[in-house]
Chain A
């Protein structure tokens, strides 16, 4: 019996956890919108792609880094507001599954527009961080992954503080809790939703840049949404903490499974393993780890 290679295990685990952080980043964008409007925005991945493509194309045309960043953010905010007004507001009283299908259509529109505008080639995205692994007690960790995690952590802290302690954050939570009550108290829902979508656009921008730097900016970027769904299922659709923990869990178990049990399946199980875990979990706890239990009132 060969001795268990602990170092390798920790390396895989760490890599998985860091990868999971990236998933969480995407999932948080979903949670924001779901928390405040009950919509599961399938187009989040497309928005990620749009943000990354816009930024990279601006930079390639000679625009300085920070200007491109600001401009892209502005575009994302406008896009978010436009989506809220054109797609979501007309559907405001429809059942959630209708809204979900609308976001499905929306993802097609955004993906198509992004690539129509900026082309379909792959772009490289440079953020200035070298992807050089450094050693930490014998374990190799990717420098880039660490940077991404730091950014994600900052973002999460920022958002949490925002929700807890600012006025707008409070109104977000009020709207998430009970839309009619929020209306009754005089909160202006359209403005709030526009702000939510703008914030979500910002999250999409950050996530898009990080993902784009990691794996290149191309169409498949929008498919990260498919990785975020199991994370949301595990962590609950309306919990930021859940998105983080869910992301870490999925990232870690995915990598570990690929390495340690992948061989029995002939490899490549990373594609569906996350879903398998999510499914098993759902059957035990149909509303996820942190999600709110849906009580049906008749």
Chain B
């Protein structure tokens, strides 16, 4: 990964994502059990979980009618 790729990622998604991707691709260290456990934990998140997180980030309570509607739609 070089700066031409990293900087737009930072601009779009923020530094943490770009930093973690850069570290993974440059360290070259073999994955540990903890790495696999963390990835498995991330893979267990559902679309509804992500919607809840974005609603929280937007400051919308989960019992707000708009939140209830979106969470119902994200139950697929």
Tell me, yes or no, whether A binds B: no
